[in-house]
Each structure stands twice: as structure tokens, then as C-alpha cells.
Chain A
Amino acid sequence: MKKLLTFLTKYRRESILAPAFKLSEALMDLLVPLVVAAIINQGIANGDTGVILRCFLILILLAVLGMGFSFTAQWFAARASVGMATDLRQALFEHIQRLTYSELDSLGTDTLITRMTSDLNQVQNGVNLALRLVLRSPFIVFGAMIMAFTIDLQCALIFAVAIPVLAVIVFGIMLACIPLYAKAQAGLDRLLGLTRENLTGVRVIRAFCGEQKEIDEFDRRNAALTKMNEFVGRLSALMNPLTYLLINVATIFLIRQGALRVHLGALQQGNVVALYNYMAQIIVELIKLASLVITLNKSLACANRIEKIFDVQPSLQYAEKTANGSMDAPAVAVDGVCFTYTGGGAEALQDISFTAGRGETIGVIGGTGCGKTTLVNLIPRFYDVNAGTVQVDGVDVRKYPEGALIQKIGIVPQKAVLFEGTIRENMQWGNPQATDDEIWKAIDFAQAREVVEGKQGGLDAVIEQGGRNLSGGQRQRLCIARALVKTPEILILDDSASALDFATDLRLRQAIRSLDGQMTVFIVSQRTASVRTADRILVLDNGHLAGVGTHDALLRECPVYQEIYYSQYPDERPETGKEAAK
């Protein structure tokens, strides 16, 4: 919370003025009963119509002033709360941009999106309400009490007793209810989950004839939720009647005491009316305050969640000075690398070593979850290794300053993602200075010319959000082109051809092979067809390097590679093996 409050300091003026004007408005409200008392005591008692008219004009003036003060307060509150939320949103966005893959993994993008959107809006609301109302209600409550003291000490003592008792009841019930409401909400969430399970699993449930069992389970949870809700309900049902009772009992005492004082001549009739009016103001404000506390409590929870994101610091440290790689060194050298995901139990990679010479094509193959993507993610240093070293151009990746390493590497991620904007803008992601010629060259390499030419406007054609006006294969080819526009030293294709048909995949691989001998290419795939022409293939199995070599060598010597290959080409299996399989 503290950290978020610093975002308000920029709006210090507004944050002070908003409540100040709000209090001025409240003051106008507090003056009203005094004016009414004057009407009764002086105007009516003395039959002075001049006083009555003057008092009336004062009441009108108070109403107009109150409105003016209130408008001003709302203006400053809107400026401060929206301004703060805007700055906070920008800061949070930029903070997220600084996070690395590990933090993104552990926080999850869904969480981050919720923090950026609904949580932040809730905070904005909270700040706005707080600026306007948090001071107003207590001010009126205590103001009314003070006013009562100025009228009559003995009568005011009733206020002094009633207010704390009321506060205890209102806040006591409220505070007791909050954790219970949370419990009821949890029960509702479970019921919601159960309903969802029943729908997503409807075929399985019916196939197993489990309908009645599901109904029983649902009924059990449903009844438990109702019980919980009724329990909280009984508690909160006390609030209204209790406060009503108390305030009126206090008023009874007030009238009784007031009558006594009037009888003694210490007080006038109009003053009793004024005291009565003050009592009425208190209860309204206390109830408002209580519901405000609930809203603020919610906002506070959101604020804390946002602050937790700010507390997450990027885990990678970058070197300050420029490191120059040597062009004589191998493009990528991986030595004894071990890696474990934060929070993940088992090692994702164990003792991996290999080198990739300049201009070589390296295939990476293995089953789902064997560590292929993890391995190639270590080259641009998306994660830091736990042991061993990764070198690019002969320099440890940890020695490169921020942004320098990424310049050398073009990546085509598994999920073909394009962003809203023209094709040209998308192509310039890695290289904002790329000319149209360069872009077209990359597009040709990626076999995407027909995609671009098929769109109205060519490079100026607009790609919709998430690239949904393109097919999966079209997106994938444009993603490959986007990586090539950077003219990277190292190109990583992370299972990038999976949505391409076989012929396009083939042409793409031929194009890559025809590139001038400088670009080092990593091809990650599950398909042996995609990697079999590579200069070297890394076979991964459960985080281990199960074999390195050419297709032919691996097919002779590496059992894991054989298994993968023959699972895809059962007809190729040597006769003995085929028989054994049957």
C-alpha cells in the first residue's frame, strides 16, 4: 500500500483540496440545524418575519455553497484518482516489461492482465471514494457532536455515549461478517467449479452413468453454501434494527433531557429541534461510512495484489560494459548446463553440452516436455542456467549488456503470434529501420510472398488483433519472416513448421539451407522429417541429451531417436522390429 500511495504524491494538491472542499460542504450541512433553531427561537418566538426571511436566504446560500464546494471536491477527486490510476497503470505496464521469463512463468499472464485491468480500476474507484467520503462521514458525526456541545453540555453527553456504542455495533457486525462473506464466496466458487466440471465432462459423466452421483455431490455443496449464507445473513440482519433502535432510544433520552433543560430555562425549544436534527444526521452518516469501509476494503485488497507485482524484481542482472564476441568462436557453445524452473521440482535440463559452429543447422528433437524449448530459450538468455555455461560468439551470455544479445538472435516462437497493425509494422518488430526491400527478401525466404500479396494493400494490409484474419500456416510463415528481417546471426525455429503443409515446410528448409553460410539455425521439432537434414541433431529425452549426430548416425546408434523415427515411419522399421511390434 505504501508504495502505491507514492503515486498520489504527484497529485498532492488535488488530494488535499478534494477532502478539504468536501469538509466545507459538510460544514454547510452542519450549520443547517442551527439556522432552523434560529428561525424557531428568534423568528417564531418573537414573531419577527425579517429574521425568518434572512434565515431562509441563509439556508439557500448554504445549499448553493454546499453544491459549489461539492462540485469542486468531485473535480479534484476525479483528477487525483484517475491521474493516479493512469500513472500507476503505466508504471505497472513498464514494470511487467522489465520482468523476465521466470517471473512471467511464476506470475502467469492471466494474473498480470487482471492486475492491469479490473484490480487497477477498483483501486481508482477506491481512491476516488476515499478522497471524497472517508473524511466526510466522521467529520459529520463528530461535527454533530461538537455542535451539540455548543448548544448544551448535558444534552451533548447523550451524543458522546450514543456515538461510540453505535460505532461498535456497526463496525463490529461489519468486521465479523467480512471473513464469513469470504467463506461463503469460497463455497460459491466451489459450486461454480462443480457446475463447470459437469458441463465440460458431460460425455464422460454420461458414459460412466455418473449423473446421480454428480447430483448428490452438487446437492451437498449447495446445501452447505445455503447454510453458510444464512449464518452470515442472520448476523448482518441485526445491523439495521439495532442501529435504528439505538439511535431512537438516544433521541428519547435527548428529548427527555432537553425538556428538563427547557423547563429550567437553560435551553429554548428551537435548540431541542436542532439537537434532534443532529441526532438524525449521525445515523445516516454512520451507515454510509460502514458501506464505504467495505468498498475500501475491497480496493485495499486489490491494491495489495498490485503491490505484490511491483515487489517482484526481474531475476536477471545485466553486465554494464559492451562485450564483443569473437567471430572465430563457435556461434553457440553450451557446456555442462543444468537448469531447473523456479518452483518446478525436477531438473528440466541435465548436464547438456554441445557446440554449434557458424552457419551450421542444428536440429533439436524429442517428445513433449523433454526440454527442447527450454534448451533453445537458454541461448538468448531468457533464463539463467543453474550450472554450466552458455556462450554466444565465445562470450558467456551473462556478460552481454541488456538488449545486446537479443540483437544477434531471431526467434520464431512455438505459438505464431502477430500483433495488431500493418504487416510492415509487424515485420519491423525486430528491426524498426528495415526497408521494404529487406522485408520482401525475408518474406520470400519464409515462403510468405503469396500470403502478403493475397492481402489487400500488401505490406500495408492490416493484421487484426492476434492475427485472427490469417490462417495458422500464414501466421507462422509471417512469424518466420519477422525473425529473418532482423538478419540475425542465430535463428531459432521453435517447432515453427508444425502448421505448415509438408511441401511448404520442405521449401522453407531448402531456403534456409541456401542462406549464406553465416546464419546458425536451430530447428526444434517433434518430426524427424523437419530435422533429418540438419548438420547435427540433438536428441533430448527427459532433460538428458540422449544423442548427438547426423540423422544416419543417430538412426544407427541412438535408441531414443530410433523409437521416435519408427513411431512416425512404422513402415521403415527393419523387418525384425516390425514383427516384434506386432
Chain B
Amino acid sequence: MNSGKKVQANSTETLKKVLAVIGRYRLLLFFSVVLAAVAAVMQLYVPILFGDAIDLVAGKDAVDFAGIGRILIWILALILAASGMTFIMNLINNRLTYRTVQDIRAKAIRRIQVLPLSYLDAHSTGDIVQRVIADTDQLADGLLLGFSQLFSGVVTILFTLGFMLSKSVEITLLVLVLTPVSFLVARFIATRSYTMFKKQTDTRGKQTALINEIIGNEKVVKAFGCEERVSGRFSKINEELRKYSQSAVFFSSLTNPSTRAVNNVIYAVVALSGAHRILSGALSVGGLTVLLSYANQYMKPFNDISSVITELQNALACAARVFELIEAVPEPRETDHVLTAGEGCVDIRDVSFSYDKSKQLIEHFSFTANAGTKTAIVGPTGCGKTTLINLLMRFYDVDRGEICVDSQNIAGITRHSLRRKYGMVLQETWLREGTVRENVAFGKPDATDEEIIQACKDAHSWSFIRRMPEGLDTVIRDDSLSQGQKQLLCITRIMLCHPPMLILDEATSSIDTRTELKIQDAFDTLMKGRTSFIVAHRLSTIHNADNILVMQNGRVIEQGNHDSLMAQNGFYTSLYNAQFAGLEAG
């Protein structure tokens, strides 16, 4: 009960937010609702006029042509007005929904750019995409159109009742009493078919899992010659699904015929009692026509409203998800101070940080990287290597302590001015769907072709770019490049920007060792004279670092260059030997 109230409160809250978003279209929404209601009333009044006209067609030589003519002109005017209004309302609704969706999405993408990475890392990509795309659509369709449908539905029911009452009170009451029967029938069928549906869903889920497992690993199935055996397995579950599906499909398709039958019975009852009332002079034939056509349509708004309400609930849930995203707390505003140009000396002073504040990660970490030096960070998975990179780039802010670049605390300068100083290459090679040129010039969109080609040559990527079908203008698709080529493009991207500092985070671990050796050349060119941080798990790549930080559980446990660390015969030595153990083993 309590939670129900809370949900209610949240829904109201969400609704208010939606209204705030459509603020500039408030007038449109108002017109939409008014037009819907007016058009509904007009459309309801038309059958009454037709009924009146029919009354004037009493029999041979008893037709009032003048009266009919007047009524028909009225009808013509009404239907013209009603259809005109419906058209305008449709246009308004279109504009309302599409513009709202556009606005919300624009807000969402802006928010995504300023959200802290802690938020983005904690939410799956699929989930956020779902919010920006599907949930937003649902919000607009369900909420805005739902409003207008709900309102016109209520208006329709009220006016239908009013018009029916004006024709015959008794028959109206009769219809009112009988209507719930069709709801009961629908409910009865729904509960009966629910169990069947559940079984169908479960079995279908199992079957999908099997399909994923078998078809997803079809090559293994073929390698073991098990095709017939898996077909047998599939057949078993497929037959089970047939059984449940047949019942589920059948039972669920009974709802419409059943409610239709109830409606038909109501129709018959109206016809019977109406005829009797005509005989007693309390109703005209035209009046009966009106009642019959209302009795036919009466159920429709009820069904509409119940589906609109489900839709509305769904839309509200989506809206809540959308707002959760566009109202997520952005990164704190920053001062306007810009990092002044320097040589690129990085000073980490007594820094503590952890993602999950209940668990310690980096504790009292201090280190100075002098300008132009090469610092390698090594250690087992989860020791905090990548975290350090996140802090250097200010993807995350430190909990305590400070990081200074050229003696300026990075917490006090704009993120952009800091990040422009770094070139970063990550293990995951992110390239966008676009041309080679767009990708290479990502950090410097106004680069000339000469600059781009020079960067490509420096990064050793020109030889393969040149051979691509359209050179720099070749569109890169997901699998058109090898892992090594992708990484070379990422390096080229940096090469073009000439940043004074470099970060390489496991940049070569998805590449085989021989290719790595070739790329290493490009890296060496890149690192020349730049302050560089290299995270690596293959120790062979960091031999010539000026400084190697060996990390474990967020702490630096050893520090020095390769030779001095090997001489210590400590953790680094054991890491190093573990990697080359195969040698002695042979």
C-alpha cells in the first residue's frame, strides 16, 4: 500500500517533469486536447442527425424532403468540420511528439558529454542507448498521444451516455448494466490464458538459449559431427513449444470473439426493448438506429481507454528512465583557468582514490615524472594501473591529494586544457564509422591533407592507407581493418595533434608480438621527447623506460628501471620470470 503511494508520488513527479519539457509546446498540447474533444462530440452527434433524417423517411408518400435536406446539410457541415479538426489535431500531435522527442534527445546527448565517467562506467551502453532512443519514443507516443486519447475517450463515453439518455433512459441503463459483462469475460479469458502464456514464454526462452548455444557454436558442432544429435535435442524442445504455443495462441485469440458476442447480445437486447418502446410510442425508428449504432460503438472507447492506461503506465516508466539520465548529476562546474604551456612535468602528490568508497584502492600515492621521461606502470590485473590513467586524464577526480602538471593543480584548471596536453592510446581501438580522414583528423578537424599524410607516414600507417580502395576517403567499417591497423590509426590520430604528453594504456596487448614490434617503431617516434606513461602487461615492451612503477593493490611496491628492478630480485623479477617461464620448460 505504502509503496503504491510512493509510486503514485513518483508518477506525479515524472508527469510534472514531462510537462516542463513540453513547456514550449504547451499551447499545442492544449489545442490537441480541445480539438480531440470537439471532434469526438461532433462525430457522436452525426448518428443522431442521421437518425432524425431516417425518422423523416416514414413511408410511401410520407417523406419530408425539405426536412431531410436541412438535416443532411447540417451533417455535411459537421463532418467537414470534424474531419478538418481531426486533420489539424493529427498534425499538431505529430509536431508535438516529434519535437518533444528531438528536444529530449538533444538534452540527453548534451548530458552524456558532461556526465562523470563513473556514471557512464556504471551503466551499460545498451541501457543508456535504450533510454535515448526507445524510451524517448515510448514517452512521446504513450504520454502525449495517451493524454489526447484518454481525454477524447472520456468525452466520447460521457457524450454517448448523454445522447443515449436523451433517446431512452431505460435502454441506456440496460446498456450500462450489461457492459461490465464483456469486461468480465475478457478478464476471465486473460487469467486462463496467462498460465499458458507463461509456459510458452519459459519454453521459448529455453529454446532461444539452445539456439544461441548451438547455432552460436555451429562450427564446434560440425567439428564433432554432432549435427543429427543436436537436431534431436532441438526437436524435443520444439515439440514442447508447439504444445504450449498452440494453447496460448488459441486461448488469447478468444478474447475478441467473446467480447464481440457479448456486444451482439447487448445489441439484440437494445433492438428488442427499442422495438417495444417504439410500439408504445416512446421512441422513433430513427432513435432506435441511433441507440443501435451507439450500442455498437459504446465499447470501443472503453477498450481504448484501458489500453491507453496500460500505455500511459508504460510511458511513465520510460519517462522516469529518461529523466534519470538527463537529470543525472554532471561533473562539477570548473573554473576558467587554463593550463599554461609548459614542458609537461607531472607531479602526483599523496593521492588517494577508489571507485567504491567502501573499498580502498589507491592510497597515499606520490610520484614525479619529469618532462620528457618515460614511465611504465606494471602489475597484476586490478592493481590500479588503468585507474592511475583515469586520474591523470581527469576522467575521475582524486579523493585526496593532488596531481600537478607543470606545478598547476589539475583540479583547478579546465579539463579541456588539460586533456589537450595528452595524447592517449587505449587497448580498445575506438574508431568511428566514417572515413579514414575523419578518424585521423578527429583531434584536429582542420588539418590539411599534407599534415595528415605526414602524420600517417610518421605512424607507419601510410603504407596500408595508401593501398586502401579510396585512400584517406575509404569508409572504415567494423571488420575492414585488422587489429594492428586499427591501432596504427589510433596512433596516427595522436601523431597529428603533437601533444606534449602521452598515455599508452595496454596499447599493444591485443596485437601479436611480431606486429607489436613493428608498431613499437611508431610508438618510439611518438614518445620522442614527450612525457609518457605506459601501462603494459607484456614486460618485453617496457625495457627502456626511465622509470618502472610496480603496482600491487593500489600501491607502488617497487620502483626503478629494468636493470635495477631485476637486481632487486623482488616482485618485478618474479613477474618477469613468470612470463618467460616457457623458455626453461622446453
Contacts and interface: CB of A to CB of B under 8 A. Distances in A.
A569 B249 contact: no
Interface stretch (B14-22, B92-100, B348-356, B358-366): B92-100
Given A214-B113, A276-B50, A529-B582, A209 B218 contact: no
B133 A191 contact: yes
Contacts of A211: 113-114
A505 B94 CA distance: 65
A310 interface: no
B257 interface: yes
A25 B258 CA distance: 12
Contacts of A260: 63
Contacts of A113: 211-212, 215-216
A429 B235 CA distance: 18
Interface string A238-260: 10111011001101100110111
Contacts of A306: none
Contact of A256 (B72, B221, B223, B257): B72
A207 B422 CA distance: 7
Given A78-B253, A104-B218, A269-B54, A230 B109 contact: no
For the complex, would chain A's binding face be called helix, strand, loop or mixed by DSSP majority?
Answer: helix
Interface string A63-106: 11011001100110111011101100110011011111100100
A420 B580 CA distance: 36
A197 B209 contact: no
A519 to B, nearest CB: 17
Contacts of B580: 568-569, 571
A352 interface: no
11 contacts: A47-B279, A60-B265, A79-B246, A86-B238, A213-B445, A215-B110, A263-B61, A276-B289, A277-B293, A367-B512, A502-B578
A23 interface: no
Contacts of A209: 416, 419-420, 443
Contacts of B106: 218-219, 222
B268 A56 contact: yes
A101 B222 contact: yes
A264 interface: yes
Contact of A252 (B75, B94, B257, B544): B75
Contacts of A44: 275, 278-279, 285
Interface stretch (A32-40, A158-166, A450-458): A32-40
Interface size class of B (residues with CB under 8 A): 35 or more
B254 A226 contact: no
B57 A413 contact: no
B99 A226 contact: yes
B337 interface: no
B141 to A, nearest CB: 11
Contacts of A81: 249
A570 B253 contact: no
A86 B293 CA distance: 43
A357 interface: no
Contacts of B90: 233, 236-237, 240-241
Nearest to A25: B257
A287 to B, nearest CB: 12
A262 B68 contact: no
Interface string A152-195: 00000000000000000000000000000000000010011101
A419 B217 CA distance: 9
B205 to A, nearest CB: 10
Given A83-B242, A269-B59, A533 B271 contact: no
Contacts of B79: 244-245, 248-249
A557 interface: no
A178 to B, nearest CB: 18
Interface in A212-229: 212-215, 218-219, 222-223, 225-226, 229
B238 A269 contact: no
Interface stretch (B3-11, B224-232, B401-409): B224-232
Contact of A101 (B68, B95, B219, B419): B219
Contact of A367 (B113, B226, B515, B581): B515
B246 A411 contact: no
A574 interface: no
B338 interface: no
B415 interface: yes
Nearest to B516: A567
Nearest to B253: A74
A198 B109 contact: yes
A348 interface: no
Contact of B234 (A49, A59, A90): A90
Given A199-B112, A465-B213, A207 B61 contact: no
Nearest to A99: B218
Contacts of B68: 255-256, 259
A569 to B, nearest CB: 6
Contacts of B289: 273, 276-277
A132 B94 contact: no
Given A207-B419, A248-B46, A417-B217, A368 B223 contact: no
A43 B231 CA distance: 67
Nearest to A248: B79
A532 interface: yes
- The 3 A-B pairs at the shortest CB distance, nearest first, are namely A529-B582, A237-B90, A233-B94
B191 interface: no
Interface stretch (B339-347, B424-432, B457-465): B424-432
A576 interface: no
B292 to A, nearest CB: 7
A203 B517 contact: no
Among B254, B267, B433, B583, find the residue whose CB has the most chain A CB atoms closer than 10 A: B583
B225 A406 contact: yes
Among B224, B288, B442, find the residue whose CB has the most chain A CB atoms closer than 10 A: B224
B499 to A, nearest CB: 9
A506 B585 contact: yes
B94 A234 contact: yes
A197 B432 contact: yes
Interface stretch (B23-31, B81-89, B160-168, B302-310): B81-89
Contacts of B239: 86
B567 to A, nearest CB: 14
Given A82-B246, A222-B102, A413-B220, A429 B226 contact: yes
B12 interface: no
Given A204-B426, A273-B285, A368-B511, A39 B234 contact: no
Given A128-B253, A214-B113, 11 more contacts: A56-B268, A60-B265, A78-B249, A195-B132, A230-B98, A244-B79, A245-B79, A368-B483, A429-B224, A526-B512, A567-B513
